[in-house]
Amino acid sequence: MTPLSTLIERAEAIYLTHGSGSAAYLLDQIEAAIRDGTPALRIRELDHILQLIEYRQRTLALYGRS
């Protein structure tokens, strides 16, 4: 399993690249991975990164920094 620190770094890179569209970008990546028959571990990692992005967005919205 990928270490949390690596997942956080990946989530940050995706967020910096795609901004508020990060969640949609990751959903597209997950859907493509499923269609392509990507191993479950990779799909799980993408899902974990999506969860980190969603958590960040909820936290920023909660504190008025969205």
Domain boundaries, given as residue ranges, for the chain: 4-60
18 closest CA partner among 28, 33, 7, 6: 28
Q: What is the largest CA-CA distance in the chain?
A: 39
Q: Alpha-carbon distance 29 to 46, whole Å?
A: 8
- Predicted TM-score of the model (pTM): 0.88
Confidence of residue 5 (pLDDT cuts 50, 70, 90): very high
What pLDDT shows up at residue 66?
54
Token output for 34 = 């499923």
Query: How would you class 53 by CB atoms within 10 Å of its CB: exposed for 0-12, middle for 13-18, buried for 19 or more?
Result: buried
What pLDDT shows up at residue 52?
95
* Contact yes or no for 10/22 (Cβ under 8 A): no
Q: What is the pLDDT of residues 14-65, one digit of tens each?
A: 999 999 899 999 999 999 999 999 999 999 999 999 999 999 989 988 988 6
What pLDDT shows up at residue 11?
95
What pLDDT shows up at residue 26?
96
